Amino acid sequence: MSLTAEERAALRSIDPDRMLARVLHWSAVNSGSHNLEGLKAMAALLEEAMAPLGEVQRHPPAPATEMLGNGAIVPLQHGENLHLSVRGQAPTRVLLTGHYDTVFGADHPFQSTRWLEPGVLNGPGVADMKGGIAVLLEAVAAFEASPWAPLLGYEIVLNADEEVASPGSTPLLLDCAARVDAGLTFEPAFPDGALAGSRPGSGNFSIHLSGRAAHAGRNPEEGRNAVIAAADLALRLAALVADDLKVNVARIEGGGPDNIVPARATVRVNLRPATRAAETRALAALDAAIAAVAAIHEVEVHRHGSFARPPKPLDCNQQRLFERVRACGADLGLAISWKPSGGVCDGNNLAASGLAVVDTLGVRGGAIHSADEFLLTDSLSERAGLAALVLMRLARDGFSRTPSA
């Protein structure tokens, strides 16, 4: 199917210069996941950019906690989440999501943008995902210029804690997901334009081990070395790696003066299961390793954390929305493909709720989560056009939440 005159007219309204200007402006604002002041400033800029679409609501984050290195569980504050709802009674409804936090904190040396070469912009969050938010808003503006706008309603959620597994925003996202027929998330595509298909799940866990201090020379046998116990636990967890499970022991905290048997240590680990069965097995193995270490080393062990991201298989429900996106891409001269990704995002949680979601409709870019992060700027208009056309076609042709309907 080729583009209609009405589709072409709507797509002509896309302004790449406006998108690039927004990316440059937004990326100059540090909005690391724990930089509450920076998140507040970024939210104000996004609220202003979204205002032409309707009234933006600010939602406080849901309560969350974290384990400190000493084992204490304390409240963890996140930024506010932005929500906009348009035409809630339309026959077809779509959830559009993005996150405005980045992995770069206020004290990180990576704070500014620069051109690596013409068309390649390096900067914090340019791809992941301030560029994606620029694409999202431009696509919606183009869709609103089309004759099919009255047929489709949408909700936009821009959250402030995606990079830390969305503990404060997942309830809002799932509440919105229950009211819509499909989801579009604007995480960056791969540099070659491919989309992420299947994704693993992810769980972050902190395990605190409490032993007994003693003099390292006078009576070490009376101590219970928490650091040794933590090292044993780390090795046991690393041994859980399998074809369907990735394990990253990220950090061990603890210890003190050389002449004291250390009484406390904390292990931080990330588990990424490919399937729900692997997730269940991984959690059981984690707890078994904890129990074994506690018994062998005579230490008390406490676990904090959970699997915040369920695995996202590319099943038939997901496939049918991917095919819609591929068809739109073909009419724009884009060869849309997809491949598995080891990363996770809010698309995992949306898909687990039963929603069909394509979660990499943002810019083409790469080296995310590093100071080499880059955005291919010609993809701003390319991806905005793709998303706008997807919205027009969903409005015109409809889309059912359930595969069998």
pLDDT in the model for residue 1: 66
SS3 for 97? strand
Series of mean pLDDT values for 10-residue runs along the chain (405 residues): 94 98 98 98 98 98 98 98 98 98 98 98 98 98 98 98 98 98 98 97 98 98 98 98 98 97 98 98 98 98 98 97 98 97 98 98 98 98 98 97 70
Q: How far apart are alpha carbons 398 and 367 in whole angstroms?
A: 36
Q: How far apart are alpha carbons 203 and 247 in whole angstroms?
A: 10
pLDDT in the model for residue 232: 98
Q: pTM for the whole thing?
A: 0.96
pLDDT in the model for residue 278: 98
pLDDT in tens, 323-360: 999 999 999 999 999 999 999 999 999 999 999 999 99
- CATH 3.40.630.10 domain locations along the chain: 5-199+312-397
Question: Which stretch of DSSP H or E encloses residue 224?
Answer: none
Strand partners, 267: 207, 252
Pairing outcome for strands 264-273 and 202-210: antiparallel
Q: Please check whether residue 355 is in contact with residue 214, taking contact to mean a CB–CB distance below 8 angstroms.
A: no
Q: How far apart are alpha carbons 222 and 259 in whole angstroms?
A: 14
Q: How far apart are alpha carbons 215 and 256 in whole angstroms?
A: 12
Best CA proximity match to 282, nearest among 349, 228, 342, 236: 236
The string of DSSP codes covering 296-317 is HHT-EEEEEEEEEE--B---HH
Burial level of 264, CB count in 10 A (0-12/13-18/19+)?
A: buried
Give phi and psi for 283, each to the nearest 5.
-65, -40
Q: How far apart are alpha carbons 144 and 227 in whole angstroms?
A: 59
Q: How far apart are alpha carbons 197 and 206 in whole angstroms?
A: 29
Q: Indicate the angle between helix axes 379-397 and 316-331, nearest 10 degrees.
A: 120
- CATH 3.30.70.360 domain locations along the chain: 202-308
- Return the CATH fold of 5-199+312-397: Aminopeptidase (3.40.630)
Q: Classify residue 244 by its DSSP letter.
A: T
Best CA proximity match to 14, nearest among 324, 396, 380: 380
Q: Please check whether residue 152 is in contact with residue 394, taking contact to mean a CB–CB distance below 8 angstroms.
A: yes
CATH number belonging to the domain at 202-308, selected among 3.30.70.360, 3.40.50.800, 3.40.250.10, 3.90.1150.10: 3.30.70.360
CA 282 to chain centre: 22
First to last CA, the chain: 24
What sign results for the dihedral spanned by CA atoms 382, 338, 197, 369?
negative
Q: How far apart are alpha carbons 66 and 29 in whole angstroms?
A: 26
pLDDT in the model for residue 403: 73
Q: Please check whether residue 229 is in contact with residue 292, taking contact to mean a CB–CB distance below 8 angstroms.
A: no
Q: How far apart are alpha carbons 382 and 135 in whole angstroms?
A: 9
For residue 91, give Cα distances in angstroms to 77, 140, 398.
Answer: 37, 17, 8
In terms of phi and psi (left: phi > 0; alpha: psi -120 to 50; beta: otherwise), the region of 156 is beta
pLDDT in the model for residue 192: 95
Give phi and psi for 247, each to the nearest 5.
-130, 130
Q: How far apart are alpha carbons 85 and 88 in whole angstroms?
A: 7
The string of DSSP codes covering 40-84 is HHHHHHHHHHHGGGSPPEEEPPPP-EEE-TTS-EEE-----EEEE
Burial level of 128, CB count in 10 A (0-12/13-18/19+)?
A: buried
Q: Who's near 400: CB < 8 A, 6+ residues apart?
A: 181
The string of DSSP codes covering 265-301 is EEEEEEEEESSHHHHHHHHHHHHHHHHHHHHHHT-EE
Q: Please check whether residue 146 is in contact with residue 86, taking contact to mean a CB–CB distance below 8 angstroms.
A: no
pLDDT in the model for residue 405: 47
pLDDT in the model for residue 112: 98
